[in-house]
Copies of this chain bind each other. A is one copy, B any other.
Amino acid sequence: MMVSTRGRYALRMMADLAVNQKDGYVALKDIAERQQISKKYLEQIIPLINKAGLLTTTRGFQGGYRLAKLPEEYTVGEILRAAEGSTAPVSCLETPENTCIRCGECVTLPVWKGLRKVVDEYLDGINLQTVIEGSGNEDEI
């Protein structure tokens, strides 16, 4: 049930941008240092969320990244889906090609479909602004 590092780092990176971006662009180097994540590894993750149109970028001197939208306009779900490709808990549900042969007789498939539903509803119900404000949830176990 683990969220991969791609998704976790992507969310931390987006939250870092939301908190730290001012007027200009933010260098990946700075994000990596603040978040204590390998810059090289982030370089592999950032194209995933960049292609999904979540960021604006400039190259060259004082280049870097900015959020393409306001923090409240991103859901956690869309960030994780951009980074991980999908929030499906089993590969059978990821793409039509992945449906396995036993699909028709598989009694566990409805369980996973329902799981994906509650996960998506939860993740799409939280926006990035809420995340950086840190409101709610801390008092849970």
Which A residues are closer than 8 A to B by beta carbons? 1-4, 7-8, 11-12, 15, 19, 36, 76, 80, 84, 86-91, 102, 106-108, 110-115, 117-119, 121-123, 126, 131-132, 134, 136-138, 140-141
Given A1-B3, A89-B3, verify A131-B114 contact (CB < 8 Å).
no
Asked whether, in the complex, the Cβ of B118 is within 8 Å of the Cβ of A122, the reply is: yes
Asked whether, in the complex, the Cβ of B117 is within 8 Å of the Cβ of A118, the reply is: no
Interface pairs A-B: 5 shortest CB-CB: A110-B137, A118-B122, A114-B137, A3-B89, A1-B87
Given A118-B118, A122-B115, A131-B107, verify A84-B1 contact (CB < 8 Å).
yes
| A27 → chain B closest CB, angstroms | 20
Asked whether, in the complex, the Cβ of A108 is within 8 Å of the Cβ of B2, the reply is: no
Counting chain B CB atoms within 10 Å of each CB, which of A15, A115, A122 scores highest?
A115
Count the copies: 2
Given A3-B1, A91-B2, verify A134-B107 contact (CB < 8 Å).
yes
Asked whether, in the complex, the Cβ of A90 is within 8 Å of the Cβ of B8, the reply is: yes
| A126 → chain B closest CB, angstroms | 6
